[in-house]
Amino acid sequence: MGSIEEEIIRLSRIVAEAEKRTDADTVSNYPSSDYVGIDPSGDLIDKTMLVARHGSNRVNLETLTVSDIAVKVHRDTAWEFGTMELAGNLGEKRFSGRYRYSHLWVRVSASWLISGSQMTPVLIPASPANRAEPA
């Protein structure tokens, strides 16, 4: 199957594609039961809220592109982080932009699940001098 890092990236792409299609059934398979996320507005969301956003068509994503993905693994946890380009609507509110994101994955039995996530709008592009490279 490959490395854990490759598996996390593969799973993350499945989740991103499901979010783009507003496929709540697929999205619901990946957050852990105790999932906590921080969305770009700073709101805390749990698994029920995350899935409901995609099941009710509250979220309409026209663009969702992921890049600069890196994964750090420590035993049964993996921290994935990267950049997302997003455009769409959350309810009546329009959004678009570039975001830094992270997902905290945990291995539960034989499966990897997202235990936490966080997104931050990128307000000023990082110059090479101000950018930390993953170790």
Q: Which residues of the chain have pLDDT under 50?
A: 1
Contact between 42 and 95 (Cβ < 8 Å): no
pLDDT at 94: 87
- CA-angle at 98, arms to 115 and 49, nearest 5°: 35
**pTM exceeds 0.75:** yes
Q: β-strand 31-38 against 111-121: which pairing, if any?
A: parallel
Q: What is the CATH number of domain 4-123?
A: 3.10.450.50
Q: What is the pLDDT of residues 15-24, one digit of tens each?
A: 999 988 889 9
pLDDT at 132: 61
pLDDT at 18: 93
Question: Domain-by-domain residue ranges, the chain?
Answer: 4-123
The proportion of the chain whose per-residue pLDDT surpasses 90, expressed as a percent, equals 68
d(C-alpha 118, C-alpha 109), whole Å = 24
Q: What is the pLDDT of residues 34-54, one digit of tens each?
A: 999 998 888 999 999 999 988
